[in-house]
Amino acid sequence: MALVLFFCSSRFELDELATAINHHFGDTPVIGCTTAGEIGPAGICEGSLSGASFSSASFVAGSAHIDGLKAVVPEQIEAVATELREQVGNGRGNSFALLLTDGLSGREEPIAHAFQAALGDVPMVGASAGDDQRLAATHVFADGAFRSDSAAFVVLRTSLPFKVFRSHHFAGGDEALVVTEADAERRIVSEINGLPAAAEYARAAGLGTADLNTTRFVRTPLVVRIRGNDYVRAVGRVNADGSLQLFSAIEPGVVLRVAHSVGMTEIRRALFEELRQHVGEPSMVLGFDCLHCKLEAQVGEFHGAIEKLFMDNHVVGFSSYGEQFMGIHVNQTMTGVAIGKTEVKCDA
C-alpha cells in the first residue's frame, strides 16, 4: 500500500484507535480525520469508520501535516507542496492532491488557497473534519496521532485515469445582498444592505426571522458568484444579536444571493454519469459531501436515493464541515476525485 485514508466518527476513543491503526499499518502512511458521518460500501453511516488504500502498483504517494493552523503562513504550505511534489516525482502518470483540515479552525480558505497556488497545475480537492455535529473539537490524523488545529496534505501520482470534481445543486436568485458589516475572522455577518443580517436574509428568502432554523438554512443557503460560478456559503445559525454565523469566509462588500435547489438527486446522477464518461467504471470515488447536503436529503426524504447513488458508484468518504476545490473553500457541496480501473498508457 502506498497510502491509507480513513474517516471515522468522533465517538471513537481516538487514542485507542490511533494505537490500533499504528499497530496494523506499521510504516504505511496513514491519513484520516473525524467526521459528521461516514460514506462507504455500507452506504451513508454514522458512528462508524470507512476508508481505502491506494496500491503501490498504481500510485506513488507523498503526505505531510502542519500543526498550529492559526499561525501558519503561506510559505510553510508552499514548502510542504514542494516537498510532496518531489516525493512523488515526475515519472509515469498524473497527479492530484488532497487536503484534510480541522473543521473548526476557521482557516480553510487561506490554507486551501496557498496549497493550490503552490501546487500549480496539480488539481486539489479536500474537506474539513467534523465531530458528529457537536461543534466541540475536530481532528485530523497524521504521523500516527489525531491532531486538532492541524491539516494533512497528500499528493498522489497515478497511472490510472482520474477526474476531480465539484458539484452543488443550487442557483442564486437575482436580488443582490451586500454584506455591509462582518467579522471576517469569526465568519459572522452583522449587516446586509445596511440592515440586521438575519432579518434581511429572512426577507429575501420569503421568511420571517422566527422561521429561521437548520431546515430553512439547508434549503435556502447563500451563494457568492465568482467568475460566473455560484459557490455556496452555508448559514449555521442566527446569533442572539440578529447576526448570521456562516461556515465560510465573509467580509464587507461581498455580494450574496439567496439560493434555491435545482434537484440534488438529479444533479448527483448526472455527476456520476459524467465521471464514468471520463474514467469508465470507477474503482472508487473519493467523496467529501457536506453535512448540510446530508441534512437536506434527510429533510427532503431522498436520502435513500443519494445513498444508492453512492453505493452504485463506489463512493468512499465522509460528511464534512466544509469542502475545498482548486483552492476555494465552499459549503453544501460535494467535492472529490473519481478513479478508474484501467491504466492510462503514457510516456515515462
Cell 498504481 -> residue: 58
- Exposure pattern of 256-293 as b/e (b: 16+ CB <10 Å)? bbbbebeebbeebbebbeebbeebeebbbbbbbbbbbb
Cell 490524523 -> residue: 141
pLDDT digits (tens, 9 = 90+) for 49-102: 999 999 999 999 999 999 999 999 999 999 999 999 999 987 667 999 999 999
pLDDT digits (tens, 9 = 90+) for 258-301: 999 999 999 999 999 999 999 999 999 999 999 999 999 998 88
Q: How far is CA 5 from CA 48, 161, 205, 279, in A?
A: 14, 19, 40, 21
Across the beta sheet with 43-45, the strand order is 43-45, 38-40, 315-320, 284-290, 334-339, 162-167
d(CA 218, CA 293): 7
Contact 200, 235 (CB under 8 A): no
The residue-averaged pLDDT of 191-214 equals: 95
Q: Kindly state the cell numbers that stand for 218.
A: 439547508
Confidence tier at 249 by pLDDT (50, 70, 90)? confident
Residues of the chain with CATH 2.40.30: 170-261
Helices 264-279, 303-312: axis angle to 10 degrees equals 10
d(CA 133, CA 321): 9
pLDDT digits (tens, 9 = 90+) for 120-141: 999 999 999 999 999 999 999 9
Widest distance between CA atoms in the chain: 62
Helix (H) or strand (E) holding 187: none
Angle at 338 between CA 147 and CA 302, to 5 degrees: 85
Closest listed residue to residue 129, CA positions, set 6, 3, 297: 6
Per DSSP (E only), the strands in 24-123 are 30-35, 38-40, 43-45, 49-54, 59-67, 94-101
Whether the pLDDT of residue 227 is over 60: the answer is yes
d(CA 200, CA 210): 13
pLDDT digits (tens, 9 = 90+) for 2-14: 999 999 999 999 9
157: exposed, middle or buried (C-beta count within 10 Å: 0-12, 13-18, 19+)?
A: buried
CA-based R_g, the chain, Å = 20
Which conformational region is residue 132 in: left (phi greater than 0), alpha (psi within -120 to 50 degrees), or beta?
A: left
316's CB contacts (< 8 A; 6+ apart) are 5, 7, 39, 40, 41, 50, 51, 52, 284, 285, 286, 287
- The pTM (predicted TM-score) of the whole model is 0.94
Beta strand pairing call for 195-196 and 315-320: unpaired
Q: Kindly state the cell numbers that stand for 270.
A: 448526472
Helix (H, G, I), strand (E, B) or coil at 222: strand
Helix (H, G, I), strand (E, B) or coil at 5: strand
Confidence tier at 228 by pLDDT (50, 70, 90)? confident
Q: What is the pLDDT of residue 348?
A: 36
Whether the pLDDT of residue 344 is over 80: the answer is no
Contact 319, 38 (CB under 8 A): yes
Q: What is the pLDDT of residue 119?
A: 95
CATH class of 170-261: mainly beta
Q: Kindly state the cell numbers that stand for 175.
A: 436580488
Q: Kindly state the cell numbers that stand for 235.
A: 448559514
Percentage of residues in the chain with pLDDT exceeding 70?
Answer: 98
Whether the pLDDT of residue 347 is over 60: the answer is no
Whether the pLDDT of residue 172 is over 50: the answer is yes
Helix (H, G, I), strand (E, B) or coil at 212: coil
Q: What is the pLDDT of residue 275?
A: 98
Q: What is the pLDDT of residue 346?
A: 46
Mean of the per-residue pLDDT values of the chain: 95
